[in-house]
Structure 1
Amino acid sequence: MKLLILGATGPTGRHVVDAALRSGDQVTALVRNPAGLGESADRVTVLTGDATSRSDVSGALAGQDALVSALGRGRSVVADGLFTRASAAALAAAEETAVSRLVWLSSFGVGHTFPWSSLTQKLMYATLLRSLYADKEIADDDIRSSGLDWTLVYPTRLTNGPARGSYHADDRLPMKGSPTISRADVAAFMHRAAHGSEWVHRTAVISD
């Protein structure tokens, strides 16, 4: 499978790249700084560009089978319109290139999942992450209303632990306290979702 990965140099994106390479996929990464790919760069088609630029994303997406976005803001809680701008670029590029499969990383607590959150989660989402989540909600709604074969992935609090492979993924999961999931497990799920149809037009809540 030919995959374009956005956010490939981020902490989750690097795991997506690794999962794709292990499975034998042909990987293209659109990145600002190719050095962030580390040793994986030798096995990846690296394109330097901006994930919020329609022309950059369109050029990278041409000839691909799917787009997987693991874009994030790192430790910053300031949205700066990243997700709305990136989703607009991705949707326009998908229309231009006729690539319909999109797997997009969001966050649990965004949009319709907020009421399902535990009290602990709600306190964080409504205060510290409020701006970031508002930007993600707009992006997610735009993706849902598109004609693409989308999957939105809503992980609970991300950790840098190893993949366990025993996580839970469903349209809705019960929450208590502040559950977590490793970035490696999220990446593995996103990669598998891109290869199948089970999660097309669905929101995947994922947690340990």
Structure 2
Amino acid sequence: MKLLILGATGPTGRHLVDLAQRSGDSVTALVRNPATLGDLTEKVTPVTGDATSHRDIAAAAAGHDAIASALGRGNSVRADGLFTRASAAVTGAANEVGVSRLVWLSSFGVGETFGWSSTPQKVIYRTLLRSIYADKEIADDRIRSSGLDWTVVYPTRLTHGPAQGTYSVGDRLPMKGNPTISRADVAAFMHRAVHGSEWIHRSPVITD
């Protein structure tokens, strides 16, 4: 598979790039600064560009089979429009160049998943993550109405732990406390999803 990855230099994106490369995919990574790919630079095709630019994404995505986005705001709790702008650019560019498959990383607690959250989760989502989650909700809705073969992934709180391979995934999962999932497991699920049809037009929730 020819796969374009956005957010490749982030902690989840790096796992995704590594998995895709090791599985034999032809990987293109759209990054602002290719040097930040480090040891992955020689294993992928780095393309310098902006994930919020329709033009940059269209140029990078042409001729690919799928796009996978692991874009994130790092340690910031301010959205600054990243997800709304990126979703507009990605959906527009994908439709323009004929790439129908899109796997997009969101967060549990965004949109209707907020109503499924536990009380401790709701407190965090309403306060600390309010800005980012509002931005992500607009982005997720745009992706679902894009006409693409989308999958929007909703992980619980992300950790830097190793992949366990025993996570739970479903259209809706019961929540207690503030559950977590490793970024490595999320990347593994995203890679599996982009290669299959099971999760097309679905919004899987994933947690340990």
Q: TM-score w.r.t. structure 2 length?
A: 0.99
Query: 3-state SS of the aligned residue for 2:146?
Result: coil
Query: 3-state SS of the aligned residue for 2:203?
Result: strand
1:21 aligns with 2:21: yes
1:137 aligns with 2:143: no
CA distance in 2, matches of 1:80, 1:178: 26
Q: CA RMSD of the aligned region, Å?
A: 0.4
Report the Cα offset of residue 22 of structure 1. Answer: 1.1
Report the Cα offset of residue 75 of structure 1. Answer: 0.4
Unaligned runs of 5+ in 1: none
Q: After superposition, what is the alpha-carbon deviation per residue over 1:10-65, rounded to whole angstroms, capped at 9, x for unaligned?
A: 00000000110111000000001112211111010000110000000000000000
CA distance in 2, matches of 1:87, 1:200: 17
CA distance in 2, matches of 1:146, 1:58: 15
CA distance in 1, matches of 2:93, 2:146: 12
Instruction: Give the partner amino acid of 1:131.
Output: S
Instruction: Give the partner amino acid of 2:61.
Output: L
CA distance in 2, matches of 1:36, 1:170: 34
CA distance in 1, matches of 2:164, 2:38: 24
Instruction: Give the partner amino acid of 1:36.
Output: T
Report the Cα offset of residue 146 of structure 1. Answer: 1.2
CA distance in 1, matches of 2:90, 2:146: 11
CA distance in 1, matches of 2:38, 2:116: 38
Query: 3-state SS of the aligned residue for 2:205?
Result: strand
Query: 3-state SS of the aligned residue for 2:56?
Result: helix
CA distance in 2, matches of 1:166, 1:34: 33
Query: 3-state SS of the aligned residue for 1:29?
Result: strand
Name the structure 2 match of 1:185: 185
Identity %: 75
Alignment of structure 1 residues 154-193 onto 2, 5 Å: 154-193=154-193
CA distance in 2, matches of 1:172, 1:72: 23
1:109 aligns with 2:125: no
CA distance in 2, matches of 1:37, 1:172: 35
Name the structure 2 match of 1:93: 93
CA distance in 1, matches of 2:18, 2:184: 9
Name the structure 2 match of 1:80: 80
Name the structure 1 match of 2:200: 200
Report the Cα offset of residue 100 of structure 1. Answer: 0.3
CA distance in 2, matches of 1:107, 1:43: 29
Aligned length: 208
Query: 3-state SS of the aligned residue for 2:9?
Result: coil
1:48 aligns with 2:48: yes
CA distance in 1, matches of 2:33, 2:157: 26
Name the structure 2 match of 1:128: 128
CA distance in 2, matches of 1:2, 1:122: 38
Q: TM-score w.r.t. structure 1 length?
A: 0.99
CA distance in 2, matches of 1:100, 1:128: 34
Alignment of structure 1 residues 3-22 onto 2, 5 Å: 3-22=3-22
CA distance in 2, matches of 1:117, 1:198: 25
Unaligned runs of 5+ in 2: none
Instruction: Give the partner amino acid of 2:96.
Output: E
